[in-house]
Structure 1
């Protein structure tokens, strides 16, 4: 009787631990996915502020405080995404991080998982660098032209994030609301940038024509 009762308690305890482990992984998976797509949406928003200003005929300053704030939240969500993703797919140890990028023979991973991690790492480096540059002090030190050129890495960041999402199989989950958000973000950015370029060229052409008449 006692051995059976003890065995039953062990089984129940093991099942409980297994259930808690699954719930924890499910929660971490949701947080990882959600923070990743929120960061993607915020990056897209930073790329739509300029075209929106052109559409509304507003002046576009070299440094936009709204874009800075959105960029800061982008970096925060990106870092949280990396932390939870690291805990989800690895053990959380520093040494386990290498398994994200290299095979057992120390060759760079070239499968979807590896390419997804490499593009994610590059995106993380850029978003943190852009956050560090988004201060009045760096703007004064680097001067407007150099500062603006570095801020244009935001386009590279967006492309890397889309590749990161692609390699992680987002297109295989087309029914997911997160995937829908990602697709809508890409469409909005592409359309917004196209409209912004068209508006800028039209305004530039009018300015040039007016100067010639003078």
Structure 2
């Protein structure tokens, strides 16, 4: 067991962390003027999170397309998801200090008439989709280990893991609403929508292959 964990760390986690560090360094060098610490961590962790989560959703359909074994859980798919989920939690936690320092509730409500009202608009929708997305991330990170796989049994564990799909939709929606709030639609067109469409197409192909096998 110990050797297996060390092998995963060496083969999976170290390459992903090195790639993430290279991305962060490149981002820091290219962004002019350099960002302060909190925006820098918020942006980079957000981009890394959505990238790794998208990759984790492509592996299953890719196995089916290539006619490889596609078990309920594989360490590589699980580890990529763990890294993506961890970056998502970092993004959400540090992002609370981007605005309203010391008053994080104002991300979700706004002061109105001596009281509070639910914050709507693109900014409010971005925050709520992000909140629900990170809550699902916490669930998925909690059960992404051999202990819960054995405790819950394969079918129940897999059903819970399927919350990955609505979570990814929430993450994409969160990213899009934030770009709309900032009146910057470039990444919506060139990153978020293409990424979502690629994942959707691969998932639909995977579903089609599974249905074809049952016929």
TM-score by length of 1: 0.76
Matched, 1:173 2:184: yes
Aligned-pair CA distance for 1:70: 0.8
| Aligned counterparts, 1:1-214, within 5 A | 26-91=36-101, 93=102, 96-104=103-111, 105-169=115-179, 172-176=183-187, 180-205=190-215
Contact 1:100 1:117 in 2 (8 A): yes
Contact 2:63 2:69 in 1 (8 A): yes
Unaligned runs of 5+ in 1: 1-22, 206-214
Structure with the bigger RCO (C-alpha within 8 Å, sep 6+) is 1
The structure with the largest alpha-carbon Rg is 1
User: In structure 1, the residue corresponding to 2:210 is in which secondary structure?
Assistant: helix
Structure 1 ranges of 4+ moved more than 4 A: 23-27
Q: Which moved more, 1:23-32 or 1:191-200?
A: 23-32
Q: Structure 1 pair 71/89, CA: closer, same or farther in 2 (3 Å)?
A: same
Q: Which moved more, 1:181-190 or 1:163-172?
A: 163-172
User: In structure 2, the residue corresponding to 1:107 is in which secondary structure?
Assistant: strand
Contact 1:37 1:182 in 2 (8 A): no
Unaligned runs of 5+ in 2: 1-32
User: In structure 1, the residue corresponding to 2:116 is in which secondary structure?
Assistant: coil
Contact 1:48 1:192 in 2 (8 A): yes
Q: Structure 1 pair 164/175, CA: closer, same or farther in 2 (3 Å)?
A: closer
Take 1:24 and 1:97, find their aligned partners in 2: how far apart are those partners?
25
Cα RMSD (Å) of the superposition? 2.3
- Give CA-to-partner distance per residue, 1:172-198, whole Å, 9 cap, x none: 43445x862323311210111121122
Aligned-pair CA distance for 1:156: 0.7
Contact 1:54 1:199 in 2 (8 A): yes
Take 1:25 and 1:53, find their aligned partners in 2: how far apart are those partners?
40
Take 1:119 and 1:174, find their aligned partners in 2: how far apart are those partners?
18
Take 1:155 and 1:135, find their aligned partners in 2: how far apart are those partners?
19
Q: Which structure shows the higher helix fraction?
A: 1
Take 1:192 and 1:31, find their aligned partners in 2: how far apart are those partners?
30
- Equivalent residues, number: 180
